[in-house]
Amino acid sequence: TQRTFVLLKPDAVKRGLVGQILARFESKGLRIVALEQRTIDAAQADGHYAEHVERDFYPPLRDFVTSGPLVALVLEGDEAVQVVRALNGATDGRQAAPGTIRGDYSLSNRENLVHGSDSPESAEREIALWFPAL
């Protein structure tokens, strides 16, 4: 079994999609290990997106993820990292396949509703950052 870190970004909360998105993860068979609604500041956003801080797209991404409450969670299950990436779909909601979360609900490459760790190593780092007690 494996753990992964997931964010339901502020657009998911604002649009009232938290329940529908969580239902997809739970229906798949993933177990919720931790879940908390939080509002983060710029320094916390920089810590999470350390690998993107220098990228051109980062300043508006930072504004977006600090714009309102988000939901942070840890999911557990067989190959959870890849399974969540597949459920989330491609980064750009306009290109994400129908049937994925982004493909069904997002029309944006920034406001794409969800984040999922991109590797088991990233998952370890992100879980330690967001849920140090786990």
User: Binding site for ATP: what residues are annotated?
Assistant: 9, 57, 85, 91, 102, 112
Whether 52 is catalytic: no
**Single-letter residue type at 72:** A
Q: Which of the stretches 22-30, 74-82, 112-120, 124-132 binds ligand ATP when contact is defined by CB under 6 A? A: 112-120
Contact 5/130 with Cβ under 8 angstroms? yes
| Closer of 36 and 133 to ligand ATP (Cβ) | 36
15 CA to centre of own chain:
15
Helix (H, G, I), strand (E, B) or coil at 98: strand
Kindly give the residue spans of alpha helices, DSSP state H, lying in the chain: 10-14, 18-28, 42-48, 58-65, 80-88, 101-105, 120-130
Q: Which of 24, 28, 110, 125 binds ligand ATP (CB under 6 A)?
A: 110
Contact 102/113 with Cβ under 8 angstroms? yes
| Closer of 67 and 133 to ligand ATP (Cβ) | 67
Pick the catalytic residue: 40, 115, 116, 123? Answer: 115
Is 109 one of the binding residues for ligand ATP (CB under 6 A)? yes
- Rule CB under 6 A: which residues touch ligand ATP? 52, 57, 61, 91, 109-110, 112, 115-116, 118
